[in-house]
């Protein structure tokens, strides 16, 4: 279990800095539908791309479980079709993977639980 919230996502092996870790997967939906769904969900697992969104709310694996941190160890690279995750630094086997959600469906209203020294307080 995560030290931040929920299940979390953890490194199964050691990961080198700048290495691609994987991609966010989910149901491809329109942006309007993504925003509608986000308003009804307690836990949001939606990533908006240029013209579509990926909704992994009902998926049981993968980057759906990556938690936010104000001092993350990964970053998300967005393309028109994908959301890819890369290591910002060397990551130890068993370490929780985190990403800065940046602008999100939470609209800055969700209290942040990351515990980082530079925590912004809200997501």
pLDDT band at 38 (very low <50, low <70, confident <90, very high): very high
Q: Helix (H, G, I), strand (E, B), or coil: what is residue 23?
A: strand
Structure tokens at 84: 């890819």
20-99 CATH pick, 2.170.270.10, 2.40.50.140, 3.40.50.300, 1.10.3720.10? 2.170.270.10
pLDDT, greater one: 6 or 74: 74
In this prediction, residue 103 has a pLDDT band, given cuts at 50, 70 and 90, of confident
- Cα angle: 22, vertex 58, 122; to 5 degrees: 75
pTM: 0.90
Q: Where are the domains of the chain?
A: 20-99
Give tens-digit pLDDT for 52-92: 999 999 898 899 999 999 999 999 999 999 999 999 999 99
């Amino acid at each position: 279990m995560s030290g931040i919230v929920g299940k979390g996502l953890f490194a199964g092996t050691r990961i080198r800095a700048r290495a691609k870790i994987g991609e966010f997967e989910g149901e491809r939906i329109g942006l309007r539908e993504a925003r509608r769904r986000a308003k009804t969900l307690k836990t949001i697992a939606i990533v908006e791309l240029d013209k579509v969104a990926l909704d992994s709310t009902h998926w049981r694996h993968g980057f759906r479980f990556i938690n936010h941190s104000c001092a993350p160890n990964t970053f998300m690279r967005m393309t028109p079709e994908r959301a890819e995750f890369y290591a910002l630094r060397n990551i130890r086997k068993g370490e929780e993977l985190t990403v800065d959600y940046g602008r999100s469906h939470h609209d800055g209203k969700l209290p942040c639980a990351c515990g980082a020294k530079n925590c912004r307080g809200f997501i």
